[in-house]
Amino acid sequence: MGHGWEGVVLKLMRGRDFTFTVTAAEQLTDGFRRVSVTDGGLLAATGGAHPTMWVRLWFERHGKPHQRAYTLVDPDPEAGTFSLDFALHDGPATDWARAAAPGDTIDATLQGTGFALPEPAPSRLFVIGDPASLPAINSLLAAAPGTPATIWYESAPGTDDEPPLRLDHAHHTLHRVDRHGRGGELIDAVRSTLPRLLGDDPSDAYVWIACDTATTRSLSGYVRRDLAVPKERVHALGYWRAG
């Protein structure tokens, strides 16, 4: 395992508010829009960033506030900058990202983000996600250079042909899974491949799951109960709710 896991000790606070200012916006791929910001002092206040670090952003629609979580991409503590990669669909957050232009501002609250270091460091990673967790997946893989990882990545067919995953093909194996309707294919794909890959002793593995809430719940129960992966070797967090 590389040094990334140990890399950062955060002076994390809860409930601190910041205002980000947009410096650039670009269409990364058909399915993703990247908005780059200055951080309003966030990274100086936290003392850095940890893998998968996220903030709550406040969007407005029809005069009402909507709070949504987004992941820091390429945080630069010295410059006080990072980007946010928006997986595009319908919703207040997506609407804001589509229209974002330099000079726009967005309010953010830092609350409850954290990253528990798996101890001992895992020698194998199993990562299950989708466009919403793609930025977190990239930061997780970057924190563990050289560690073999198997990634199951779910996306709706035709929306996301070239997802901006940052893979090291020498160590990372990608399984693409098409999502139809309310999903289910991802669960089948993981159930049919993970047991064999995990083998008899899962204690050196780390399983990271971040999909829609129902899929995440189903897979985390399966991995903990049926595959007997110790709970401290499994991280599971639902990233979005299917409508």
Q: Are strands 16-27 and 105-110 parallel, antiparallel or unpaired?
A: antiparallel
Contact 26, 68 (CB under 8 A): no
Tell me the C-alpha distance between 240 and 243, whole Å.
Answer: 9
Count of residues that interact with ligand FAD, criterion CB under 6 A: 23
176 binds ligand FAD (CB under 6 A): no
**56 touches ligand FAD by CB under 6 A:** no
Nearest by Cα to 237 from 167, 149, 136: 136
Distance CA 181, CA 194 (A): 23
**Which one of 1, 35, 49, 132 is in contact with ligand FAD (CB under 6 A)?**
132
Q: In whole angstroms, what is the distance from residue 130 CA to residue 137 CA?
A: 9
Closest separation in Å from C-beta 156 to ligand FAD: 8
Q: In angstroms, give the least distance from the CB of 87 to ligand FAD.
A: 3
Site for ligand FAD in 184-243 (CB under 6 A): 239-243
The answer to the question of residue 154 lying near ligand FAD (CB under 6 A) is no
Using the rule CB under 6 A, which residue among 54, 115, 126, 153 binds ligand FAD? 54
Q: What is the CA radius of gyration of the chain?
A: 18
Q: Cβ of 178: how many Cβ atoms within 10 Å?
A: 15
Paired tokens of 37:
């910001």
Closer by beta carbon to ligand FAD, 39 or else 202:
39
147 interacts with ligand FAD by CB under 6 A: no
Are residues 178 and 185 in contact, defined by beta-carbon separation less than 8 angstroms?
A: yes
Q: Which residue is nearest to ligand FAD (CB)?
A: 91
Per-residue contact flags (x/-) with ligand FAD for residues 76 to 95, judged by CB under 6 A: ---------xxx-xxxxxx-
Closest CA to 32 of 2, 1, 70, 6: 70
| Stretch in the footprint of ligand FAD (CB under 6 A) among 20-28, 61-69, 181-189, 199-207 | 61-69
Region of 14-22, 35-43, 127-135, 190-198 interacting with ligand FAD (CB under 6 A):
127-135
CB 31 within 8 A of CB 159: yes
Binding site for ligand FAD (CB under 6 A): 54, 66, 68-71, 85-87, 89-94, 131-132, 135, 239-243
